[in-house]
Amino acid sequence: MMSHQLGQPPDGPAAERPRPYPRHAAPHTPLRPMWCCRACGQPWPCPMARLLLRSEYEDNPISLSIYLCGLLYEATRDLYRLNPAGAPSPTDMFTRFVAWGPHRRPIVEPGGGC
């Protein structure tokens, strides 16, 4: 019996957003592979990057969620390769990249009853 292994998934999206504002300012994009902000040095996405991303994707929150999930994958891979023993936990990475993004309403309102 032969065992099959899944190959390495392809790379996620390029971290090219948020676009710099104003245009001459340093962009709040991640510096890879450490995933710190190019402009302020905080862990990316920094508070300013979050504001700019929300503004940039205001009309398309689903795209923002997909973009952030792709970057979560990329960041997890990079940070694990840098320091396998000290890589952030999956919960920390989810909180950092995805949890602050667009929120969905529950299917049933809490306390709505039958």
Count of the separate structural domains present in the chain: 1
pLDDT digits (tens, 9 = 90+) for 3-28: 566 566 666 666 667 766 667 778 89
Cut 0.75: pTM above it: no
Residue 113 lies in a domain: no
Residue 83 lies in a domain: yes
CA torsion angle 66 71 77 78 (round to 10): 170
Model confidence at 79, in pLDDT bands (50, 70, 90)? very high
25 neighbors 84 (Cβ within 8 angstroms)? no
Residue 72 lies in a domain: yes
pLDDT digits (tens, 9 = 90+) for 21-60: 667 778 899 999 999 999 999 999 999 999 999 988 989 9
Residue 62 lies in a domain: yes
Residue 18 lies in a domain: no
Residue 9 lies in a domain: no
Residue 70 lies in a domain: yes
Residue 53 lies in a domain: yes
Read off the DSSP letter of residue 84.
G
Which domain range does residue 87 map to? 41-99
